[in-house]
Amino acid sequence: MAQELIQRVKFAHRAEGESFSKTLNKRVNAYFKENGISKYADGRMYLKSVVIVSSYLIPLILMLSGVITSTPAIILSWMVMGVAISGIGMSVMHDANHGSYSSNDIVNKFVGYFLNLVGGSAENWKIQHNILHHTYTNIDGLDADTVTFPMLRFSPFAKRRAVHRFQHIYGWFFYGLMTVSWIFMKDFKQLVDYKNSGMTTNYDTGFGLITLRIVLVKAAYLFVTLALPIYLLPLPWYGTLGCFFLMHFIGGVILGMVFQSAHIMEVCEFTKPNEEGKMKDEWAIHQLRTTTDFAPNNKLVTWFVGGLNFQVVHHLFPKVSHVHYPALAPIVRQTAEEFGEKYHCIPTFTEAVLGHGRMLRALGREDIPSSMVVLT
Q: What are the sequence ranges of the domains in the chain? A: 3-375
What pLDDT is attached to residue 18? 75
pLDDT of residue 225: 96
Instruction: Count the Cβ atoms, other than its own, within 10 Å of residue 59.
Output: 22
Helix 167-176 × helix 349-365 angle, to 10°: 120
pLDDT band of 173, cuts 50, 70, 90: very high
One-letter identity of residue 297: N
- Provide DSSP, 229-286: HHHHSSS-HHHHHHHHHHHHHHHHHHHHHHHHTTTSSTTS-EEE--TTSB-SS-HHHH
Looking at every residue in the chain, the average pLDDT score rounds to 90
Identify which of 5-19, 61-75, 123-137, 183-197 has the greatest average pLDDT.
61-75
How does DSSP classify residue 160? P
pLDDT 10s digits, 198-230? 766 556 667 778 888 889 999 999 999 999 999
Q: Angle at CA 133, nearest 5°, toward 162 and 286? A: 95
CB under 8 Å to 291, separation ≥6 — which residues?
137, 262, 263, 268, 311, 312, 315, 344
> What angle do the packed helices 207-222 and 187-196 form, to 10 degrees?
170
Answer whether residue 16 shows pLDDT above 70: no
Average pLDDT over residues 67-82: 98
| Helix (H), strand (E) at residue 115 | helix 114-117
Using the predicted structure, report yes or no on whether residue 196 has a pLDDT greater than 80.
Answer: no
pLDDT at residue number 62: 98
Q: Nearest 5°: phi and psi at 70?
A: -75, 145
* Mean pLDDT across 243-263: 96
Residue type (1 letter), 214: I
pLDDT > 90 in the chain, percent = 70
pLDDT at 141: 82
pLDDT for the residue numbered 6: 62
Mean pLDDT of all residues in 87-111: 95
The rounded distance, in Å, linking the Cα atoms of 154 and 149 is 10
In this predicted structure, what is the pLDDT of residue 17? 61
Confidence at 15, pLDDT banded by 50, 70, 90: low
CB–CB of 25/340 below 8 Å?
no
CA torsion through residues 190, 193, 196, 202, sign = negative
Q: How many CA atoms lie within 13 A of 293 on its CB side?
A: 27
Is 300 exposed, middle or buried (CB count within 10 Å of its CB: 0-12, 13-18, 19+)?
Answer: exposed
pLDDT over threshold 80, residue 14:
no
Q: Which of 4-18, 203-217, 224-238, 326-340 has the lowest mean pLDDT?
A: 4-18
Rounded mean pLDDT of 15-30? Answer: 86
Task: Select from 144, 135, 141 the least CA-distant residue to 283.
Answer: 135
**Which comes out higher in pLDDT, residue 204 or 111?**
111
Q: How far apart are CA 270 and CA 290, in angstroms?
A: 7
Q: For residue 191, give the nearest of 183, 181, 179, 199 by alpha carbon.
A: 199
- Bridge partners of 375, per DSSP, are 272
For the segment 284-305, what is each residue's pLDDT rounded down to a tens digit?
A: 999 999 999 999 999 999 999 9
Is the pLDDT assigned to residue 1 strictly greater than 50? Answer: no
Over 90: is that where the pLDDT of 121 sits?
Answer: no
